[in-house]
Amino acid sequence: MPPEKPDSGKPHLVLIDGSGFIFRAFHALPPMSSPQGVPVNAVYGFTNMLSRLLRDHVGTHLAVIFDAGRVTFRNEIYPQYKAHRPEAPEDLRPQFGLIRDATAAFNVPSIELEGWEADDLLAAYAKAVVEEGGCCTIISSDKDLMQLVRPGVELMDPMKQKPIREAEVEAKFGVRPDQVVDVQALMGDSTDNVPGVPGIGPKGAAQLVNEYGTLEQILAAAPGMKASKRRDNLIEHAEAARMSRKLVLLDDNAPMPQPISELGCREPVRETLRDWLEDMGFHSTIQRMGLGLAAKPRPFTRQIVRPEDKVAARDEASAVTVPDAPYGPYETITDLETLDRWIAEARTAGVVAVDTETDSLNARQANMVGLSLSVAPGKACYVPFLHETVRDLLEENSTGEAAVRQLDRTEALERLKPLLQDASVLKVFQNAKYDLTVFRGAGIPEITPIDDTMLISYAQSAGEHGQGMDELSELHLGHTPVPYDSVTGTGRKRIPFAQVAIDAATAYAAEDADVTLRLWQVLRPQLRTRQALSLYEEIERPLIQILTDMEDVGIKVDATELRRMSVDFAERMGMIEQDIHEQVGRSFNVGSPKQLGEILFDEMGLPGGKRTKSGSWGTDSGVLESLAEQGHDLPRKILDWRQLAKLKSTYADALVQQMDQDTQRVHTSFQMAITTTGRLSSNEPNLQNIPIRTEEGARIRKAFVAAPGCVLLSADYSQIELRLLAHVAKIEPLLEAFRLGQDIHARTASEVFSIPLEGMDPLTRRRAKAINFGIIYGISAFGLAQQLQISPGEARSYIDAYFARYPGIRAYMERTKEEAKKHGYVTTPFGRRCYVPGIAEKNGARRAYAERQAINAPLQGGAADIIKRAMVHLARRLPATGLKAKMVLQVHDELLFEVEEQDAKALAEFVRTEMEGAAKLDVALEVETGIGPSWADAH
């Protein structure tokens, strides 16, 4: 906001004290260098400040004012003026010219004049613009400029983002702005070698000015003052005081090299600015300002992936070279003044890593015990809120002093909130969705802009390794972070984080933020070299907020139906258990794998038993299914019992426990970086594994219901992986079938078995369906034989006939396996790398399993990319429709919405259009929608 809004058509001139900011930035930021090896920390700080000001404080006119040199007219008045100031630090000198280049790159006028200080030019321009009826904002916190404050002229502290007006000046100096120069004349300034009057400090000078008036009035009154050292000094040093006033008084009649009319605000030339930022290595600034290539709209098509060496790509580092810095010691923040300093440093840096410490892994239930910040490698802090600090006195390493004072969480977060929502400061998290949920619970619903090192890594290396911070730190930084167990203990001796001594908590938590920032500096540039930038910026990062919102909304469940279901499942389990006991001839614990193995293989002598490493018989589902397929009845009953037991414990019972007792809604947690293919998973509860085609699965879905006055809408991609197979492998018969809207499984049966479409029996179509979907998962003849309950030879003949009719599929499979063996990964049609562990295994069975994974990953991963992109489109565009609806679940290829009943049909049409338009393939995407009071009814 300008100090006083000028008349319409009058200028609001924003002046930046460039010289003052250079030194503040140089000393605030750690050393860093450009790709050419030139020091650039001051340039980096100045650039971030300038980009923020262009967004927040642009008036109608703008200029940056610099000092042209050290010798000015003040040196003629007093040769010793600023004479003892040291030379600029060696690393700062080459940055002066680069900072002037920065203003040119931003298309901002820069002004300097030999013989005059920047402060004089600021004074002259401020006076001139006010005389024209306009107003002036000076971006500086330099106390020497406070004499310029008056109606129409204000200062703006670039670090604290706070205006400095008449009240702030009076609070600083104890006098009005027009009296500041007299206070400065009396007190002098040792920094600039301004002598002043000995023995008079700021308070004494303000007292004299308030009592007597101007400097001349004070000097005139001095002889009549009560005898004192102050009176004697005023009399003795009167001329020094008058000279000092001339030195500190800013000359508002200084020449103005450019008229105000030529200082109109201009947009930077995007290409020029981006090229300059690239030369400096300021990639984070490019991303924050939306200047990256990925920011340009472009079709969502396959990226060309070049065969880089995997190890070399992993070892690439940031273009901004940051010297190694020790991990700690870190600072504990216990007062607001120190917190404000860290906030100011974060604004200067333009990027800050943030990490929360809580008392629960469930983000919705977690209390924020403290948080940590890092503004540069090795420079991090911890802000404790809720530690039980009496424990500090009991720790073995305690000094015995009083417990460490902690900040009030509400008050501290109010100070942090503007930083967390400042669009010019990038906030970096590791697993951002968790921290955003914690902040939301603490009263900060939105934090922007953000980056997430977990997802930055996942977007380029899914399946290559884990995405946890500790593993990433060891892999990319060669550093093992402080283990959580080392500060909380383990087992029965584990304590809540709130009981960890604050010094230990600081060492652990601040290091987490430090490591997160270092990982960001290493991993962020690799997004471009690994062709994952658009995947991250257009899909993964936007989903963080979308999924956070979905988790927050949750979905309503019918607790009465779930309890009824639990009783029914228990009764059915009891009946099956009774049958099992009768068949065996005695009672035993059906849920005991050990007892079951002894009965099946020792007592009944069934074939195919294998012992585990512990010596017990293996009785997993694979073993039981194999026995059941051989015609043995007992294993089939055991499988039925286990299925009911799992559904009862995982859903019927667990959902009631996990339900919010006030809202009757459950809030699943979506896992964004678990699967190799990019698919989302969920837990607490896991909604991805509810059986799809069974009666029990339908009953569980029946318990997910809409709120009163609403319905649920399900939108499901139809045969999306088969469509992707037809697209990537260019299978013309499949492409044609999809284009004509034919029954794809009937078409496959007709092609493979050479029978007409008309009059086809259901069994033949079902076999073709099994082949279609089995091929996607790289099914073997043995697997298909088991699934269709036919001989392996017959299954092999089906597969051979399938490949003979669709040769492009076998070519795709072989090509995909070769790609996996060559690079260690395969790519989806949209450029996502899916790493395939085990593809180079010597063990044939393990290698074959990895090959089947490789064949399926581009299709399953491509489907994941498409539905994620659809979610991003829907989240952005749904609010503008005015439809009263919310996206509540995503399960594989399906999205579920809760919508007011009168808007359901309009939402169905809107969702179908957006989902079908999420990607352009050789065949059209199709979405099936359903509406009903429950999830089952909407299917």
Give 13's strand partners: 61, 136
373 three-state secondary structure? strand
Q: Report pLDDT for 305.
A: 30
Q: Tens digits of per-residue pLDDT, 503-531? A: 889 999 999 999 999 999 999 999 988 99
Q: Which residue stretches of the chain have pLDDT < 50?
A: 1-2, 5-6, 293-323, 390-403
Side-chain half-sphere exposure of 155, counting CA atoms within 13 A? 25
- Quote the CA–CA distance of 240 and 402 in Å, as a whole number: 50
CB 723 within 8 A of CB 737: no
Verify that 27 and 147 share a domain, yes or no.
yes
Verify that 256 and 361 share a domain, yes or no.
no
Beta carbons within 8 Å of 720's beta carbon, 6+ residues apart: 863, 866, 893, 925
Verify that 256 and 379 share a domain, yes or no.
no
- Could you tell me the two tokens for 146? 């406070």
Confirm whether 390 is domain-assigned. Answer: yes
Verify that 443 and 369 share a domain, yes or no.
yes
The number of residues making up the chain comes to 939
Domain boundary among the residues 241, 262, 283 is at: 262
Read off the DSSP letter of residue 617: B
Confirm whether 73 is domain-assigned. Answer: yes
Kindly report whether the peptide bond that precedes residue 449 is cis, defined as omega within 30 degrees of 0: yes
Verify that 384 and 475 share a domain, yes or no.
yes
Owner of token pair 């492998």:
729
- Quote the CA–CA distance of 873 and 867 in Å, as a whole number: 10
Confirm whether 272 is domain-assigned. Answer: no
Confirm whether 338 is domain-assigned. Answer: yes
Q: Report pLDDT for 300.
A: 29
Verify that 256 and 398 share a domain, yes or no.
no
Count of domains observed in the chain: 2
Verify that 340 and 258 share a domain, yes or no.
no
Q: What is the DSSP string of 507-562?
A: HHHHHHHHHHHHHHHHHTTHHHHTT-HHHIIIIIHHHHHHHHHHHHH-EEE-HHHH
Confirm whether 466 is domain-assigned. Answer: yes
- Could you tell me the two tokens for 38? 């030139």
- Quote the CA–CA distance of 787 and 782 in Å, as a whole number: 9
Q: Report pLDDT for 160.
A: 67
Confirm whether 192 is domain-assigned. Answer: no
Q: What is the domain-level CATH number for residue 115?
A: 3.40.50.1010
* Cβ neighbour number for residue 217 with a 10 Å cutoff: 14
Phi, psi of 512 (to 5 degrees): -60, -45
Print the domain residue range for 71: 12-172+250-262
Verify that 396 and 327 share a domain, yes or no.
yes
- Could you tell me the two tokens for 484? 């959580």
Domain boundary among the residues 211, 240, 262 is at: 262
Side-chain half-sphere exposure of 811, counting CA atoms within 13 A? 10
298 three-state secondary structure? coil
CB 158 within 8 A of CB 53: yes
Verify that 404 and 540 share a domain, yes or no.
yes
Phi, psi of 504 (to 5 degrees): -70, -40
- Quote the CA–CA distance of 900 and 907 in Å, as a whole number: 10
Read off the DSSP letter of residue 387: -
Confirm whether 717 is domain-assigned. Answer: no
Verify that 517 and 387 share a domain, yes or no.
yes
Q: What is the DSSP string of 513-527?
A: HHHHHHHHHHHTTHH
- Could you tell me the two tokens for 275? 């090229």
Verify that 257 and 370 share a domain, yes or no.
no
CA-based torsion, 140, 142, 143, 147: positive or negative = negative
Side-chain half-sphere exposure of 437, counting CA atoms within 13 A? 25
Kindly report whether the peptide bond that precedes residue 756 is cis, defined as omega within 30 degrees of 0: no
CB 617 within 8 A of CB 598: yes
- Could you tell me the two tokens for 278? 């690239």
Domain boundary among the residues 498, 525, 554 is at: 554
For residue 164, the surrounding DSSP H or E stretch is strand 162-164
Q: What is the domain-level CATH number for residue 509?
A: 3.30.420.10
Q: Report pLDDT for 932.
A: 96
- Could you tell me the two tokens for 98? 């680069």
Confirm whether 375 is domain-assigned. Answer: yes
- Quote the CA–CA distance of 555 and 707 in Å, as a whole number: 9
Verify that 498 and 355 share a domain, yes or no.
yes
Q: Report pLDDT for 319.
A: 40
Phi, psi of 292 (to 5 degrees): -70, 160
